Amino acid sequence: MNFAKLGLIEPLLRTLQQLDYTTPTPVQAQAIPAVLAGRDLMAAAQTGTGKTAGFALPVLQRLALEGEKVASNSIRALVLVPTRELAEQVHNNVREYAENLPLSTYAVYGGVSINPQMMRLRRGVDLLVATPGRLLDLFRQNAVKFNQVQTLVLDEADRMLDLGFAEELQSVYAALPRKRQTLLFSATFSEQIRMLAGLALNDPLSIEVSPRNATASSVKQWLVPVDKKRKEDLFCHLMRKQRWKQVLVFAKTRNGVDQLVERLLAKGVNADGIHGDRPQATRQRALDSFKAREIQVLVATDVAARGLDIDDLPLVVNLDLPIVAEDYVHRIGRTGRAGNKGEAISLVCADEVQLLSAIEVLTRQTLPRHEEPDFIPDHRVPMTDASGQVIKKPKKPKKPKETSAKRGLGRWMDSGEPEPAVKAVRKVPSFNGGPRKRKP
């Protein structure tokens, strides 16, 4: 099958040829005709399988062929994403796809000045990519109007609906026209998310091109048990031992990111970090340098778990396991993209056993364990499996405590003679405030 058979118009086919897109991926093959037909859609596919083109190409075609010209401060299609990085990535792709079409595209997100965004929106935008918080800021200042919106896309829909965006989405829904097309695209959909999504869609077509919440088969996954306080030591050891050339590391906290970056820089390793406290310009510079292979190690919080599209990234390391199991799928989805081989290593301590179990249940696989001889943990990580079982080792029976009398009579017991009886001294209350012995 080729893209022409999916019903795409000539300008888009010309663009795809320029981009060297030859054969649609499974999600594109199923999603593009459905979106062109005006259907609401819920599509689940692994990260790196071409979801952005799956919704962007048909939405751009419908905008080019249908509807009136966009008015001032208005938009005709809206793509909501959870992070700034993903907004930039999606918009870059959309802008490439729209190169031969008479359409305008733009991206808005927080962390940068709002004034340039307000000025750009005055001319109207055909397709806007936005994070929910900044979009609502613009809407409340009358910088953007929704009356012309004909298509709403939620990219990474599970994160949008599940991790703190519920109120923002409700506000956006309330302001959008009721008659619209709604598309949900994501690598993972929990049952709860599916129920929530069902409220926003009208008779949606469901597409699943891979097992739900599955990880790519092209990514080799394994873990190394280690004590929590030795995780950084183990990472540095593995990097030296395995001679890693380029690695993306995920840490749980912003302090964890900064701490590892400082340690690597002190060792002469070219490293940088991305987290929510860093300005957008600084984060973008770090990402661009990593993509250009000017940085050997990029350390990030889950702000980078979605939206980082890096060609031929060989390795992802989880310094800490994610609190939300679905984020594991997105983290390791940064490697092994577009059919390339990749590797994902997790450094797991005993405190994370429940997080590990949740990941294995979600992905329906038990992660193989490889112990490093010099890093065997004092606090052993209990065995887990994909059924959710946490297998604890049986406790050793406690030795009976020796009484003071028994300890004092060790030589009697060693000689085999019977232990003499020890008469207990009975105490009775005293009338002068202290205990006293009863006279025989």
pLDDT in tens, 343-374: 999 999 999 999 999 999 888 889 999 999 99
pLDDT in tens, 178-231: 899 999 887 667 666 677 677 678 888 888 875 555 556 778 999 999 999 999
DSSP 419-433: PPP-PPPPEE--TTS
Range of the domain at 429: 404-437
Q: Is the pLDDT of residue 407 over 60?
A: no
Burial zone of 77 (CB within 10 Å; 0-12 exposed, 13-18 middle, 19+ buried): buried
Where does the pLDDT of residue 418 fall: very low under 50, low under 70, confident under 90, or very high at 90 and above? very low
Do 20 and 128 fall within a single domain? yes
Number of folded domains that form the chain: 3
What is the 3-state secondary structure of 332-380? HCCCCHHHCCEEEEEEECHHHHHHHHHHHHHHCCCCCECCCHHHCCCCC
> Is the distance from CB of 79 to CB of 128 less than 8 angstroms?
yes
How many C-beta atoms lie closer than 10 Å to residue 21's C-beta?
Answer: 19
How many C-beta atoms lie closer than 10 Å to residue 219's C-beta?
Answer: 22
Do 378 and 413 fall within a single domain? no
Residue 199 lies in a domain: yes
Do 152 and 43 fall within a single domain? yes
Lowest mean pLDDT among 47-56, 108-117, 344-353, 425-434: 425-434
pTM above 0.75, yes or no: no
Burial zone of 399 (CB within 10 Å; 0-12 exposed, 13-18 middle, 19+ buried): exposed
Q: Which whole number is the average pLDDT over 302-329?
A: 79
Do 197 and 333 fall within a single domain? no
Lowest mean pLDDT among 204-218, 260-274, 416-430: 416-430
Do 296 and 318 fall within a single domain? yes
- Both tokens assigned to 302: 């889950």
Tell me which H or E stretch contains 14: helix 10-18
- Indicate which CATH number applies to the domain containing 335: 3.40.50.300
Residue 214 lies in a domain: no
- Which residue, of 154, 179, 208, is where some domain finishes? 208
Do 350 and 381 fall within a single domain? yes
Residue 396 lies in a domain: no
CA–CA separation, 125 vs 110, rounded Å? 18
Do 185 and 90 fall within a single domain? yes
Do 71 and 135 fall within a single domain? yes
